[in-house]
Structure 1
Amino acid sequence: MSWLGLLLIGFATSDLVFSVRPLRHVPEAVGAVVAVIAGLLAGMTDGRDLVAMLVVVAFTVAWGQSVTRGFAAGGRPWVPLAVFATGVVGAVALSPLAPYADGLLGRWLEATPFGVVAGLPAGAALVLVGVLLLQLSTGNVLVRLVLAATGTVDPSRSDGDRDVPSYRLKGGRLLGPMERLFILGLGIAGQLTAASVVIAAKGLLRWPELQDARKQHRIHAVTEYFLVGSFASWTVALASLVLLL
C-alpha cells in the first residue's frame, strides 16, 4: 500500500499548501516533491517504485489543476472527483505489485519509542500519514466538489451573497476536519460506534442556524446543503478508515 500512501500524501500536501498560499502551479509542485521525498525516505528505489512515483507526480499535478478548473466559473467539478477516484482505486488495485518499503523510515519505525507507530511497516506508515493529512484541506475540497457536482450550492456565489447556505455555514470548513479526524481516531481505536456522538453533536451545533433558515423560508435549501455536505464529509472519514484496514 506504499504507492497509495504516496498518492494521498501528494494530494493532501498540495491542498494544504494551496490553503496557505494559493499560488498557481506551486501547491501541486510542492505536493509532488513531498511525495517523492517520502518515497525515497521509505527506500522506494526499485524500478517499479520509481515508475509509481512518476505516476503519483502526474496524478498530483492533475489533481491540483483539475480542482482549480473545477471551481472556476463554468468548471466541471466531477473532473477532479474522477481524477481522485481513479488515482486511489488504481493505487489500491496495484498495491500487491509494490515492493516492500523500508529505508530510513522503516529503520526509524523499528527504533522509535512511540508505541503508536513502533514496529509499523514503512508502507503502512505512509498510508497512515496520507490518510491523516487527507482529513484536513483535501477533505474540505472533496466535500465542496460533491456539493458543486450535485448542484447543491453555487461556488461562484459562496463569498458574494450572504443569503446562500455556504455563507451561513462557513464554520463547516473548520468543523469538517475536526470531525473527520475524530471519527478516524475513534475507528482506529476500535470505537467506531462512539462516532455517533460526533454526528449528534454536529446536529446540535447547527440547529440554531437551521432554525434561523426556517424563519427566512430557506430551510429546505440549507438543510439539503447541511445533509449533503455532512454525509460527504463522513464518507471521507469512513472511506479513509477502510483504507487502513
Structure 2
Amino acid sequence: MSALALLLVAVGLTDLVAARDGSRPTIGRLAGTLVGLTSIAALALLADLDGWGDVALLGVVGVTTGAWAVLVDRAERSDSAQGLALAALAAGVGVTVLFSGWASNVAGPLARWLDWSGITALGAIDPTRAVLLLGLFLTQLSTGNAVVRLVLARTGALDPRGGPQAADRLRGGRLLGPMERVFILGLGLAGQVTAASVVIAAKGLIRWPELQRASRDSERREQAASDGTAAPIDQVTEYFLIGSFVSWLVALAALAVAHLA
C-alpha cells in the first residue's frame, strides 16, 4: 500500500497548497502541483522505494497527481471536467490498490526515523501504515473540499462560473467540512464509531437554524432569485444535503481504507 500512501500524500499536499492562494487559483494550483510531485520523489527516496514495481507505480502516482491538479483547475474555472477529475483520482487510487503487490514496504531513512523518534505511537506502527495514515489525514482537508465541490458542481447544486450560490447562505463549510471529516476519521480509528455519529448529528443541529431561517424567508428569497440575486431554498437544501453526504463518504472511505490496509 506504499504507492497508495504516496498518492494520497501527494494529492493532499497539492490541494492544501493550492487552497492557500485563493486570489490566484492558477498560480496556487501550479505551486501545489509542484509540491505534490516533489513530495512523491522525496518520499520515494526516503522510503527506499526503488524496485521496478515501485517505479511503475510511482509513475501512476505522478500522472494521477498531475491529472487531478489540471482537471480540478479546469473544473473550477468552467462548467466541465468535474466527472473527469473525479474519474482520474478514482482510477489512480484503483490502479495503486490493484497492483499494490508490486510496491515495496516503506523502509530506509524514513522507517529508521520513525523508530528513532522516540514517539511510542510512531515507533510501534508499521512505517507503510504511518505514511498511509498521513495521506488519509491530508486528504480530509482541502482534497475533501475539492471532491465535495466537484460533486456539487456536477449535480448542479453549485455553479463554478460564479453568480448567486446556495453556499452564500451557508457559511463556514470550507472550515467545518475538514474539521468534521478529521473528527470522523480520528474517532473511527480510535474505535469510537458512536462518537463519530454524534459529530455527524451535530452538523445537522448547527445548520438547522440556518435552514429553518431560510425556509421562513423562502418566498422572498425565491422572488429575489428570479432577479438573479439569490438562490432559492430548494437549492440551499440540495446543497447542504449533497455536500454533507459526500463529505461523510470521503471520511468513511478513508476510514475503510485505514482498516483494510
Find the partner of 1:119 among 106, 119, 124.
124
Count of residue pairs brought into register by the alignment: 241
Deviation at residue 97 of structure 1 after TM alignment = 1.9
Instruction: Say what the alpha-carbon RMSD is for the aligned residues.
Output: 1.4
1:50 counterpart = 2:50: no
Which letter maps to 1:26?
A
Name the SS for the 1:100 alignment partner: coil
What's the offset of the Cα at 1:63? Answer: 0.5
| 2:107 maps to which of 82, 96, 102 | 102
CA offsets 1:91-146 (integer angstroms, 9 cap, x no match): 11111221222111111222332222223222111111100000000000000011
Q: What is the DSSP-based 3-state SS (H/G/I as helix, E as strand, rest coil) of the residue aligned with 2:158?
A: coil
Kept after mapping to 2: 8 A contact 1:186/1:192: yes
1:24-35 matches, cutoff 5 A:
25-35=30-40
Question: 1:72 offset after TM fit, Å?
Answer: 2.0
Q: Percent identity?
A: 48
Residue number among 148, 153, 157 corresponding to 1:148 in the alignment: 153
Where structure 2 has 5 or more consecutive residues not aligned to the other structure, the ranges are 219-231
What pairs up with 1:1-245 in 2 under 5 angstroms? 1-21=1-21, 22=25, 23=27, 25-157=30-162, 160-161=163-164, 164-217=165-218, 218-245=232-259
What residue ranges of structure 1 are gaps of 5+ in the alignment? Answer: none
Q: Secondary structure at the match of 1:71?
A: helix
Between 50-59 and 228-237, the greater mean CA deviation after superposition: 50-59
Q: TM-score w.r.t. structure 1 length? A: 0.93
Report the AA paired with residue 174 of structure 1. L
- Residue-by-residue CA offset, 1:193-224 (whole Å, 9 max, x unaligned): 21111111111111121012102223322111
- Per-residue CA deviation, residues 58-113 of structure 1 (Å, 9 max, x unaligned), is 11111100001112223221110001111111111111221222111111222332
Q: Contact 1:180/1:236 (CA < 8 Å) preserved in 2?
A: yes
Work out whether residues 102 and 121 of structure 1, in 8 Å CA contact, stay in contact via their aligned partners in 2: no
How far 1:190 sits from its partner (Å)?
A: 0.5
How much does 1:20 deviate? Answer: 1.4
TM-score normalised by length of structure 2: 0.88
Which digits, 9 at most, give the CA deviation of each residue in 1:4-27, with x for residues without a partner?
001011111110111113315322
8 Å contact from structure 1 (residues 6, 36) kept in 2: no
- 1:149-180: CA deviation from partner (whole Å, max 9, x where unpaired): 111221222xx42xx31111231100000000
Partners of 1:25 and 1:4 lie apart in 2 by 22
- Which structure has the larger Rg over C-alpha atoms? 2
Residue 113 of structure 1 aligns to a residue in which SS? coil
Q: Is the 8 A contact 2:18 2:30 kept in 1?
A: no
| 2:239 partner letter | Y
Amino acid at match of 1:229: G
CA distance 1:155–1:74, shift in 2 (3 Å) = closer
CA distance in 2, matches of 1:76, 1:198: 32
